[in-house]
Amino acid sequence: MCRDAFLDYWINGNMLTLDIATQIFTILKQPDLKYLTQENFKPVLRELLAAHPGLEFLQSTPEFQERY
């Protein structure tokens, strides 16, 4: 996502007026839904597995990553 698209989303979506929990909910959910699904968390968990130093050992186990 480019900077301009992010700023447009953040400003025009009134994200500055929302509390942090609502910001996170709004960012994670699908635009047409009013709830979160397991699929909404997959990008966050993938990034956590890729970036967290304590979870490096899991990078060599894609079957674990996909399952859990």
Q: Whole-number mean pLDDT of the chain?
A: 88
Mean pLDDT of 38-43: 94
Is the pLDDT assigned to residue 37 strictly greater than 90? yes
Check whether residue 47 and residue 27 sit in a common domain.
Answer: no
Check whether residue 25 and residue 47 sit in a common domain.
Answer: no
Give the domain range for residue 6: 1-31
Check whether residue 64 and residue 41 sit in a common domain.
Answer: yes
- Tell me the whole-structure pTM to 2 decimals: 0.68
Check whether residue 27 and residue 54 sit in a common domain.
Answer: no
DSSP annotation string for the chain = --HHHHHHHHHHTTGGGS-HHHHHHHHHS-TT-SS--HHHHHHHHHHHHHH-GGGGGGGG-HHHHHH-
pLDDT in tens, 4-19: 988 888 888 889 899 9
Check whether residue 22 and residue 42 sit in a common domain.
Answer: no
Check whether residue 27 and residue 41 sit in a common domain.
Answer: no
Check whether residue 43 and residue 25 sit in a common domain.
Answer: no
Check whether residue 41 and residue 68 sit in a common domain.
Answer: yes
